[in-house]
Amino acid sequence: MTLTQNTIFDLGTNADGVKVHFASITGLDAFTLSVYNWTGTTLWEGGIGDGIDQIYAGGDPLTSTQLENISFYSGLDNSSFVGKGFQIPTGSSFASEVMPVPEPSTWVAMAALVLTGALFKRKRQIRDYLTTS
């Protein structure tokens, strides 16, 4: 696939998912690729490439700039942003697959939620211990 302008690639709503294999993707240095209706996993969710939707970009590995120009959305507009592109390195059975990884700000928010939950759980454990002792 050669991008000659910013491009939207809509995977549709097929319940069985969509698996797309490109021999290569060029033009990502100058243009963006927005993947709509993504229902695969993300790297954050422990995705290892075996999600419902799969996109492969064969040829040379994509650069960090090219991956930054790929955005994944779970719906048909920018309000359903899932994450930026990440390419699974060679050596994996899913080598050259591109999948979303959430933005660092999302990681910070998730870490804050996990930490808050852990603190409340610990506080409850201490309270329960003190009331039963």
Contact 59, 24 (CB under 8 A): yes
Rounded to the nearest 5°, which phi and psi values hold at 79?
-75, -10
| pLDDT tens per residue, range 89-112 | 776 677 888 988 886 544 444 444
32 vs 4: CA distance, rounded Å? 10
CA dihedral 62→68→74→76, nearest 10 degrees, is: -110
By CB atoms closer than 10 A (0-12, 13-18, 19+), residue 118 is exposed
Q: What pLDDT is recorded for position 108?
A: 46
Q: What pLDDT is recorded for position 27?
A: 94
99 vs 71: CA distance, rounded Å? 9
125 vs 82: CA distance, rounded Å? 35
Q: What pLDDT is recorded for position 116?
A: 53
Question: What are the tokens at 119?
Answer: 């603190």
In the predicted model, residues of the chain with pLDDT beneath 70 are: 44-50, 91-92, 103-133
Contact 74, 34 (CB under 8 A): no
